[in-house]
Amino acid sequence: MSATAETSATAGVPTIDRFRRVVVKVGSSLLVDRARGRLKHAWLAALAEDIAELHGRGADVLVVSSGAIALGRTVLGLPSGPLKLEESQAAAAVGQIALSRTWAEVLAHHGITAGQILVTLADTEERRRYLNARATTARLLEMRAVPVINENDTVATSEIRYGDNDRLAARVATMAGADLLVLLSDIDGLYTAPPGSDPDAKLIPVVARITRDIEAMAGGAASELSRGGMRTKVEAGKIATAGGTHMVITDGRVKNPLRAIAEGARCTWFLTPSNPVTARKKWIAGTLEAKGALVVDEGAARALRSGASLLPAGVRRVEGHFARGDAVIIRDEAGGEIGRGLVAYDVEDAQRIAGRASRDIEQILGHPGRAEMVHRDDMTLAGG
């Protein structure tokens, strides 16, 4: 198979400084010195410099960090090799404390606040919980904090977990509307064959589209500290690019790995033809079954077509049976479809606040609520 058939010239490779929201995934083998049983503090400090540089020029940065189990198993004196589920959960409980403290310290050195988010598979797959996780992440970014995200290994079981942080990072990237996902690995990219066993293997600098041939090039897991290998990285690439996010795989073992990408280090870029906003809107428009409808007045209809969110005040009538996070049709009073979106309220609450000002929501419902019935980022308009 000719690699050039599915790649573009390196001249078309984007530069890391053009991205506005970047997710950086850090693997266990990069963070943890297994032989000495501790974090690689010098390496992590250098990565924090890179993150601070991106942050300082105005980019939003999120970190998906492995390492909790690897740290905790050392503290608890657990042997090498596969762990039982309860041993992994115990190791994660111990290691997560050290991991989160370390991230907070290295980022604080640059005047950056870190916020910890622990997620499970359900938090990114079930729309109701997905919206909660997305809202929390968005608020942290608005306050210029760096969310540090990991799978909640203390409670997730083998049947309801991602099992690797590559795919989790891709889900986080699409959830957060990131335009770049960086996978820091112990290999500098995707090769035509496993480079450890094939001396003729060649690095593929750019993947324009992930095909079966591209997937077949992926190898197995690299080490006991990491559940993922190149296969999961390619799977992450499929998730990310479908969501409008570019992805790059590079060797994270070097000092200042993000700076190295900017300076032309060897890596593999997985390109997307879309962007996070348009990809999300296509998903809402074409793949979700509408559970109900919101009928809006003329003023709200005009505002929506001008790019505004749908506020409760503009809703005249609520139809159907839906829960928060479900897709609904937005109609004008003549019955014409204006668009579709993910509603921020259950049907009962939506009926109670319809036609009312956003400032009255807390008084009506007895608890704070979102100002928008449907946020513009969760909406796609008919015909565009």
d(CA 54, CA 49): 9
275 annotated ligand-binding residue: no
State both tokens at 143. 């306050």
Taking every pair of C-alpha atoms in the chain, what is the biggest distance, in angstroms?
70
Question: Any idea of the CA torsion for 308, 309, 313, 319, to the nearest 10 degrees?
Answer: 130
Q: Are 62 and 22 in contact (CB under 8 A)?
A: yes
Q: Are 26 and 63 in contact (CB under 8 A)?
A: yes
d(CA 234, CA 240): 10
66 annotated ligand-binding residue: yes
Closest CA to 369 of 348, 351, 353: 353
For 26, 82, 294, 348, the CA distances from 155, given in Å and listed in that order, are 21, 18, 38, 32
132 annotated ligand-binding residue: no
**90: number of CA atoms within 13 Å, CB side?**
11
Which stretch of DSSP H or E encloses residue 61?
strand 60-65
185 annotated ligand-binding residue: yes
60 annotated ligand-binding residue: no
200 annotated ligand-binding residue: no
Q: How many helices (H) and strands (E) does the chain have?
A: 14, 15
Q: Give SS3 for 131.
A: helix
Q: Cβ contacts of residue 246 below 8 Å, gap of 6+?
A: 14, 19, 179, 180, 181, 240, 269, 270, 271, 272
d(CA 324, CA 343): 6
With 0-12 CB in 10 A as exposed, 13-18 as middle and 19+ as buried, what is 64?
Answer: buried
Q: Which residues are annotated as a binding site for ATP?
A: 25, 185-186
Q: Which residues are annotated as a binding site?
A: 25, 66, 153, 165, 185-186
Q: Which residues are annotated as a binding site for substrate?
A: 66, 153, 165
